[in-house]
Structure 1
Amino acid sequence: MKKRVVAVMMAAVTAAGLLAGCGGGQGTDSGSGDAQSTEEGKVINIYSWNDEFRTRLEAVYPEVESTSDDGTVTTLKDGTEIHWVINPNQDGVYQQKLDEALMNQADAAADDKIDIFLSETDYVYKYTDADADVAMPLTDLGIDLDTDLADQYDFTKTTASDQDGVQRGSTWQCCPGVLVYRRDIAKDVFGTDDPTAVGEKVKDWDTLKATAEELKSKGYYTFSSYADTFRVYGNNISEPWVTTGETTVKVDQKIMDWIESSKEWLDAGYLDKTVKGQFNDDWNKAMGSSSKVFAFLLPPWGIDFTLSPNWDGDTGAWAVTNPPQEYNWGGSYIHAATGTDNPEHVKDIILAMTAEKDTLLKISQDYLDFTNTVSGMEEAAADDAYASDFLGGQNAYEYYAPVAENIQIAPLSSYDQGCVELIQNAFSDYFQGNVDFDKAKSNFETAIKERYPDITEVQWPE
């Protein structure tokens, strides 16, 4: 592993105060992961940060025999055991544990080797990096990209590819973002909660700004927080935060546009000043029935995992419509770990869970995921069987599908998670009036260099 790749991969470890020694890297030798290996191991180790993938695999993978009561071991029909190694995403714990295991992969005993690991879009590029070589090219497993994965959305294949265009992961889900709004507030302000009519009120940023003034006049906030709009801007940047081989963070103009609009909207009263960021108590409460927040910008998982659990009112109070701009937020990618002693099992799991339309449609029906076959999602969008009780019987796939078809995934880098987190943290203080604009910029520069010691410079657009 090259020195810079090690530095990026171990950033979570150093941030946690641990030693960042290499401990035996894998180099570029992927021979032990050759799909032609004659004997498969008896244990498949899968690393993830929650049970999302496990629950879906148990529900639809035909080779599952049983799962232990504590959910840590799934036994397949051939007697092979899947051992689930789960560590939380919070504070970089998952990546820290995964990085340590990957760096010891070459010397690990067969039953201790990582076979599959998952990554999120915010840091997928760190693990698909060709120099790191910790995720196998799918073709090395014997997967034919032109036939086996022909029906996947192109942007998901791009996201899971390295800097040379070699695909090193696959996903069962897409995460097209939509605008999710309160029906009662729409009726009060616009006289209708019809998704088409509301969609016209939010169809682009200029129109949405005028609508925000309408909402304000009736005592409502358009969104809860400046963080709610970040993913729309951040998913549409034109160049990566850090270009491969360089040590300079380049802040895209789209990020500056987000900063400018966030400050303007907060000062105008279109956002709730008491809600600072996301995934905190104030943000959760903004999704409750006593809130004055009209809408959230969320992908399918956001509705299922955050909005629905936080809503304490009647079912059917929310609906979805088009966002002001197409964007993608999130996505869990499945990787075959270089050095796996179970290449045939890994191949079968990846194909079963990310390439078979009927299986993915079952996941969509059971878990409301927008899954990764174009033809399947076109079918779902036209089928009332995919309507959501939470959304008052609305079929959200009618709105997910057009967004997914138009997503142009932002150029990725190995530094995305840190840049995304730290730019928001630094400018949150600016939005709240705690620091001035130049101090927020300086704070970001300091924070990003502390997170990634190999970063030497931050460039801001003119």
Structure 2
Amino acid sequence: MKKARKITAMLLALAMMTGVMATVSGCQSGTAASTAAPAESQAAPSSEAPAAEGKTLNIWCWNDEFQSRFNDYYPEVKEVAKDKSTTTLNDGTVVKWTINPNDNNNYQNKLDQALLSQESAAADDKIDIFLVEADYALKYVDSEYTLDVKKDIGLEDSDLSNQYQYTQDIVTDKNGALKGTTWQATPGLFAYRRSIAKAVLGTDDPTKVQEALSDWDKFNSVAAQASTKGYKMLSGYDDSYRTFSNNVSAPWVTDTTATVDPNLMNWVKQTKEYTDKGYNNKTSLWDDKWQADQGPSGKVFGFFYSTWGINFTLLGNSLKTPVAEGGKEEVGNGVYGDYAVCQGPQSYYWGGTWICGAKGSDNLGTIKNVMKSLTSDSTIMKKITTDTQDYTNNKAAMEEIANSDFKSAFLGGQNHIKLFAEVAPKIDMSNAGPYDQGMNESLQKSFKDYFNGSVDLEKAKANFEKTVKEKYPEITEIKWPS
């Protein structure tokens, strides 16, 4: 599989250089990221009449999140097939959904192969829209796979003016072209157990808890206090990583040199201390023990989570009886209602999903309407948030909810949208780069043996360097902070 991915990567890079739609191969595919500049801007629009819209809209994604948003909130939806494989629009257009789970890079690998065949594919088989995540967005943004949201698709500055700037920075290419748009913003907060906060700090009030956790020194002090009471501050090795990695001083890679930011070594230092002192439970993100720590039997003070994590993952894990087994999302089922949120020691974001228009699509009008409706319409954005508690990408709509009497029963009646609205404008993506996902994942994985005592610090560094040079052969030097 690794060899196949590398061959695919070389084909993609070659296709870019020869003007065929292609992508760099970096980040999640585990192959070398291309440093080639994207092709020159496309020719000026022709004076000829626009081609007729196609009647098949192919959308590719890795789960059903966008599918549900589309089916529930896109105004042009007429009916949805029972098996949800297709959605029919009012004008007769049939939306065909291709959902490839992203286990072992499956989604990206299949998407790459399909996009390489885009030019020769029949009109009804061409990809029209595909979804990307923040961690690997630049892989597609800095390629000819993606259409310019303004020039090619036709959205105006006024359509995009209420979106959070960082959501546009993530999908802006090297030439300044906006290559995607999103319905959600994903600022992060620290979600804590109210009952544990009372036991440790004597209060569960979000303002007072924030005062106790407002910087890392205070956070570490509370971790020591929690330990004396029989609680863990965090569940595992990775819990605080995003908060540190979102606050680095420079991109991972410059030219052929990778630099480990001092803030990432602060994470290493903190995590080693927490592990040695028993302040965490030695779990890893998404494993069974980590998820159990969020539920009724958990004794963990809190979790760093962004918007989607709170109303989906954390809520689900908090229930004693899952909804799928007949349980209800209500106080009395597990620790539902025992969580609250505060800003925590630093601002950060985690995740997000972007809508990209695929070059070669014959549905530009429909793509424009989808993007405008689902990422720019303040009424739709507000409804998504009030229905699902997901934080949407519209400053005006979010400010309206933040200043209302909106409450989350899961968070004990707290209006967490107000906190998200304070954090979101602080997100800075100026140091994001195409190597982010691959480098971050490699660093986390390489240092777990150090945290659990299997190797020393120097060996962990050596293991990281070995992994990086195998994954990115073009990187010739790795610098560590002194």
TM-superposed deviation, 1:306: 1.5
Say whether 1:161 aligns with 2:182: no
Matched with 2:351 is 330
The code of the aligned residue for 1:136 comes to L
Change (3 A) 1:179 1:79: same
Confirm or deny: 8 A CA contact 1:46 1:117 kept in the other structure. yes
Structure 1 residues 134-143 or 204-213, which shifts more? 134-143
The residue matched to 1:167 in structure 2 has which SS?
coil
Indicate which of 451, 457, 482 corresponds to 1:431.
451
The residue matched to 2:128 in structure 1 has which SS?
strand
Question: Where in structure 2 are the equivalents of 1:368-379 lying within 5 Å?
Answer: 368-379=389-400
Indicate which of 35, 43, 48 corresponds to 2:61.
48
Say whether 1:74 aligns with 2:83: no
Aligned pairs, number: 447
Distance in 1 of aligned mates of 2:74 and 2:473: 42
Post-superposition CA distance 1:402-430 (Å, at most 9, x none): 11021112522222211111110001111
Question: Where in structure 2 are the equivalents of 1:85-104 lying within 5 Å?
Answer: 85-104=98-117
The residue matched to 1:147 in structure 2 has which SS?
helix
Matched with 2:265 is 256
Matched with 2:131 is 118
Confirm or deny: 8 A CA contact 1:10 1:96 kept in the other structure. no
Change (3 A) 1:304 1:410: farther
Identity score, percent: 44
Question: Where in structure 2 are the equivalents of 1:358-369 lying within 5 Å?
Answer: 358-369=379-390
Confirm or deny: 8 A CA contact 1:149 1:355 kept in the other structure. yes
Distance in 2 of aligned mates of 1:32 and 1:451: 39
Question: Where in structure 2 are the equivalents of 1:205-216 lying within 5 Å?
Answer: 205-216=216-227
Matched with 1:321 is 342
Say whether 1:278 aligns with 2:285: yes
Change (3 A) 1:31 1:56: farther
Matched with 1:9 is 25
Say whether 1:235 aligns with 2:246: yes
Unaligned runs of 5+ in 2: 1-11, 17-21, 33-37, 321-333
Question: Where in structure 2 are the equivalents of 1:193-208 lying within 5 Å?
Answer: 193-208=204-219
Post-superposition CA distance 1:172-191 (Å, at most 9, x none): 10111001011111111222
Distance in 1 of aligned mates of 2:439 and 2:91: 44
Change (3 A) 1:31 1:342: farther
TM-superposed deviation, 1:89: 1.6
Change (3 A) 1:293 1:70: same
Confirm or deny: 8 A CA contact 1:28 1:133 kept in the other structure. no
Say whether 1:147 aligns with 2:158: yes
Change (3 A) 1:169 1:366: same
Matched with 1:23 is none
Distance in 1 of aligned mates of 2:418 and 2:471: 41
Distance in 1 of aligned mates of 2:478 and 2:211: 39
Structure 1 residues 80-89 or 401-410, which shifts more? 401-410
The residue matched to 2:297 in structure 1 has which SS?
coil
Confirm or deny: 8 A CA contact 1:220 1:292 kept in the other structure. yes
Post-superposition CA distance 1:343-402 (Å, at most 9, x none): 111111011111111111111112211111111111111122x31121122111111111
The residue matched to 2:119 in structure 1 has which SS?
helix
Indicate which of 299, 310, 313 corresponds to 1:306.
313
Say whether 1:345 aligns with 2:389: no
Confirm or deny: 8 A CA contact 1:220 1:294 kept in the other structure. yes
Unaligned runs of 5+ in 1: 21-25
Confirm or deny: 8 A CA contact 1:224 1:286 kept in the other structure. yes
Post-superposition CA distance 1:431-460 (Å, at most 9, x none): 111111111112112222333344333232
Change (3 A) 1:461 1:145: farther
Distance in 1 of aligned mates of 2:49 and 2:411: 48
The code of the aligned residue for 2:272 comes to K
Matched with 2:274 is 265
Say whether 1:226 aligns with 2:246: no
Say whether 1:294 aligns with 2:301: yes
Indicate which of 412, 423, 436 corresponds to 1:392.
412
TM-score (norm 2): 0.88
Matched with 1:418 is 438
The residue matched to 2:135 in structure 1 has which SS?
coil
The residue matched to 1:179 in structure 2 has which SS?
strand
